Structure 1
Amino acid sequence: MAPKILFVLTSHSALGNSGKKTGWFLPELSHPVAELEGKAEIIVASPLGGEAPLDPNSVEPYEEDPASIRLLNELSHLYKNTSKLEDWVGKEDEFAAIFYVGGHGPMFDLATSTTSIALIKSFYESNKIVSAVCHGPAAFVNVKLSDGSYLVDGKNLTAFSDEEEVNFGTAPYMPFKLEMSLKEHGAKFTAAKELYGEKLVVDGKFITGENPASARAVGKAIAEAL
């Protein structure tokens, strides 16, 4: 029987007060799905359930990417019919891993979702794989463990860097600085040498990737950890 992985998508679709749309970022779902398909059963959830908003800006750059084309054309049910995150609270024993897809949306909802925070704590303390890519680690920022310490305290990890956020032009619309907040809570943060370069960090069963270019590597690392 294939192990089950809980993929978590944002339900948030507005980029701060910019008037622009956001959500989850296409290759950050399509590439891990491509790596894990056939190796695990993928369950997708979001805070509100139903259709999780795809960042429209993430489609055109990947219109010739096979994994992204397949997700949009053949696997759209994965993000158009998500379960509610709260449905999985207390059911971590059914899963081998939890994975947070990036995009700017998680900065606005998953970072402060009490349901998500409880799930991550439960998965981590049950010795499950806990993973995320790009802005997905926003979901880890406010997670505290049973001993009162922050989950990320002392962890080797990566995420979309503050320098990348500024360069991408989205820093003014973010509710907080992701890299800075992770560091403030004790994370040992590392980034790729070049902006938007691939960066994977594996710290035991804690797996993070920096940006869209790192999503496939995260998928492979989860597959190996399974």
Structure 2
Amino acid sequence: MKELKQYKLILKMLLPLWLVFTFATSSNAKGINDNEVKGKVLIIISSDQHGFWLPEVVEPYKLLEQAEFEIDIASPKGGKGIASGSSRLSGKDSNWFKQSSLPEKLEQSIELKQVISRQYRAVYFAGGAGPMFDLVENQEAQRVTREIYENGGIISADCHGPAALINVKLSDGSRLISGRKLTAKANIEEGRWAKNNYPFLLEDKIVSLGGIYTSAAKGKEHVIVDGRLITGQNPASAAPMTKALILHLTPKEKHPAYEIQNSLSKVTVI
């Protein structure tokens, strides 16, 4: 009886130590996982002479990099594209851009036909005037989008970036945007030059092809999440759209510093 009491006493003393050890071990394992690269995301920009909108590349790239994703840049022709909108970068983003790896990647973008889709968990199409001219009918852009989507990945685009999505057809022949809710540059946000030179206005084209278009007021943030299709309306929507993308690629509790959940008040999830 005396030995049994001693055994119980020893067990009582050791149990807290075992729990501490177990908690520390599991916490350390979680920390290791948190530091792992989360996967690769492909950003596609225009090669057209009218260019891509630089802020819609800088903000998403910065957020994705901070969230520990690898990022590649691709374009229809590969190499250097024409960036516009650099004056619209905030001082903070401008300084970050100059010190980041992004300028070099923009100089050496991957040609779309060289892209191996299975390497990426998501694709993001940046806006600017260029996509309206060289991404609407681009077969390689459509291939990459279809393959990433059918492999369970996420398709995202902002402003004029959704121009690359309107003619994407899945393997069953259905159109990606048909019956789906999405947004893009609104008619009321297009200027005279756009109305006179674009082959169409995105809002009108999306509706005519069976997409369910929604928008907010001119210049306001607006993001639509319809399953694995995430779209933003305008330059102001690039950052919240990217945060929605990160939220869908990575459990939000792993990145509390970004306060993703609190910054998505303008995001509509379908």
What is the aligned partner in structure 2 of residue 8 from structure 1? 44
What is the aligned partner in structure 1 of residue 222 from structure 2? 199
- Are 2:190 and 1:180 aligned? no
Q: Distance in 2 between matches of 1:69 and 1:133?
A: 23
- Are 2:111 and 1:111 aligned? no
Which structure features the higher share of helix residues? Answer: 2
Partner of 2:146, secondary structure, is helix
Q: Distance in 1 between matches of 2:91 and 2:245?
A: 21
Partner of 1:45, secondary structure, is strand
What is the aligned partner in structure 2 of residue 17 from structure 1? none
Equivalence map 1:1-226=2 (5 Å): 1-13=37-49, 22-38=50-66, 39-55=68-84, 58-62=85-89, 64-74=90-100, 75-88=102-115, 91-166=116-191, 169-192=193-216, 194-226=217-249
Q: Percent identity?
A: 36
Partner of 1:108, secondary structure, is helix
Q: Distance in 1 between matches of 2:61 and 2:94?
A: 10
Deviations 1:66-85 (A, max 9, x none): 22442245331121110111
The structure having more radius of gyration, on CA atoms, is: 2
CA drift at 1:169: 4.2
Deviations 1:31-50 (A, max 9, x none): 11121114200000001111
How many residues align? The count is 211
Q: Distance in 1 between matches of 2:107 and 2:91?
A: 20
For the aligned residue pairs, the C-alpha RMSD in angstroms reads 1.4
Deviations 1:95-125 (A, max 9, x none): 1101101001000001110111111111111
Q: Which one has more relative contact order, counting CA pairs under 8 Å at least 6 apart?
A: 1
CA drift at 1:170: 2.1
Unpaired runs of 5+ residues, structure 2, are 1-36, 250-270
CA drift at 1:147: 1.9
Q: Distance in 2 between matches of 1:11 and 1:160?
A: 20
| TM-score, length-scaled by structure 1 | 0.89
